[in-house]
Structure 1
Amino acid sequence: MTRLATAGVAAHVFFELGAGVGMPTASILGPVPAAGLWALGAATVWRAAGSYPPSSDAAFAACNGIGLAAVIAHLQGWPRERGYLGLPRLRECEGMGPELMTFYNPILYVSGGAAVAGLVWENRSAPRYLPLLALALVPMLIVLQHAEHLRLKDLAQRRPGWWNRRLQQQTDPAIA
Structure 2
Amino acid sequence: MGTVGAAAHVFYELLSGVAMPFASRTGPRAAATFWAGSTMTAYHQAARQPEARDNVFAALNGLYLSAVIAHFLSWPRTTRRGLPWLIECEGLTGPVIAPYNVILHVSAAAAIGGLIENRRGRAWGALVPVVTVPWLLREQRREFGRLLVQAQTHPGWWNRRLRSRVTPA
Give the TM-score range, shorter chain.
over 0.9
d(CA) in 2 for partners of 1:131, 1:100: 30
Name the counterpart of 1:113. 109
Pairwise CA distance, 1:51: 1.0
Name the counterpart of 2:127. 133
Q: Is the deviation greater in 152-161 or in 164-173?
A: 164-173
Name the counterpart of 1:78. 75
Name the counterpart of 1:154. 149
RMSD of Structure 2 on Structure 1 (CA): 1.2
Name the counterpart of 1:163. 158
d(CA) in 1 for partners of 2:125, 2:119: 12
Is the Cα–Cα contact under 8 Å of residues 149 and 167 in structure 2 kept in the other structure?
no
Name the counterpart of 2:26. 29
* 1:93-149 deviation line (CA, Å, top 9, x unaligned): 0011132111000100111101101111x21122x3312221111121011111100
d(CA) in 1 for partners of 2:166, 2:71: 22
Q: Select 1:88's aligned residue among 79, 84, 92.
A: 84
Pairwise CA distance, 1:18: 0.5
d(CA) in 1 for partners of 2:74, 2:12: 18
Percent identity over paired residues: 48
* 1:2-25 deviation line (CA, Å, top 9, x unaligned): xx1101100100000011110000
User: Does the alignment pair 1:58 with 2:59?
Assistant: no
Q: Aligned letter for 1:117? A: G
Is the Cα–Cα contact under 8 Å of residues 55 and 125 in structure 2 kept in the other structure?
no
Query: What TM-score do you get using the length of structure 1 for normalisation?
Result: 0.92
Question: Residue 21 of structure 2: SS of its match in structure 1?
Answer: coil
d(CA) in 1 for partners of 2:26, 2:167: 25
Name the counterpart of 2:39. 42
Name the counterpart of 2:16. 19
Q: Which portions of structure 1, spanning 4 or more consecutive aligned residues, are displaced by more than 4 angstroms?
A: none
d(CA) in 1 for partners of 2:3, 2:126: 19
Query: What TM-score do you get using the length of structure 2 for normalisation?
Result: 0.96
